[in-house]
Chains A and B, each alone.
Chain A
């Protein structure tokens, strides 16, 4: 599934990285605790989270994640978007809750890393 397809399925806003829209992704990790992402997400290229602070972008950066999806209407601030820009990480935001977001993407063939 490409980043653009995820954006459409989730009815998400593309906050940064439209030039990355054709990137194909397969494995996804979702959590609000960043240490859990660091522990178990190292095979994944997409992070779904309801946590909204700069360490989310840092965590994604360390794991070479290419797209962050913020759920529950969470909106990253300019500082976070600037960080994501600097690292070439696409950022989507959807109003769906975490479970629904994961379910929709699973239905479209995306999987967890384990």
Chain B
């Protein structure tokens, strides 16, 4: 694996039904690369929450996943509304999701905390009105 591998996905902001396809694809690829079930699961969960957020809060975006010998780096970039108060958004239970999103099983305000919980590093770069880029790392 030296030299590393990179996967890139464009996430459609209109189609909630298809949200998660990119995370599913990454999970399969990591499994095929022989990474442990634990690492594969953690990456899949964190990326899936981020992918869902892109669809419900930011009208889609681009996800890049890089696999090196030592870590997996996920970069989720969108040009959505941005997050005005990151500290607040990180709190369990805080959500601005519409009722419709809640009826679909999301919008419990657990996404960002879950992403932090399952990864070793997480950084949020966001500008209101411009977009959000979330970088997460899982060490191997």
Q: Identify the A interface with B (CB < 8 A).
A: 32-36, 38-39, 42, 51, 53-56, 58-59, 61-64, 79
Contact = CB atoms under 8 A, between A and B. Distances in A.
Interface stretch (B57-65, B81-89, B104-112): B104-112
Contacts, number: 69
B16 A35 contact: no
21 contacts: A33-B102, A34-B106, A35-B109, A36-B110, A39-B110, A39-B113, A39-B114, A39-B117, A55-B19, A55-B106, A56-B105, A58-B19, A58-B24, A61-B24, A62-B20, A62-B24, A62-B27, A62-B44, A62-B45, A62-B48, A79-B17
B48 A51 contact: no
Contacts of A33: 102, 105-106, 108, 110
B49 interface: yes
A62 B41 contact: yes
A56 B110 CA distance: 16
A47 to B, nearest CB: 11
B110 A38 contact: yes
B17 A38 contact: no
B97 to A, nearest CB: 10
Contacts of B114: 35, 38-39
Interface residues of B, number: 26
Nearest to A58: B20
A55 B41 contact: no
A26 B102 CA distance: 29
Given A38-B45, A55-B104, A59-B48, 8 more contacts: A33-B110, A35-B110, A38-B110, A53-B105, A56-B105, A58-B20, A58-B48, A62-B23
B37 interface: yes
B64 to A, nearest CB: 19
Given A35-B114, A36-B110, A58-B20, A51 B41 contact: no
Q: Most chain-B Cβ atoms within 10 A of its Cβ — which of A32, A51, A58?
A: A58
A32 to B, nearest CB: 6
A61 B24 CA distance: 8
Contacts of A38: 45, 48-49, 110, 114
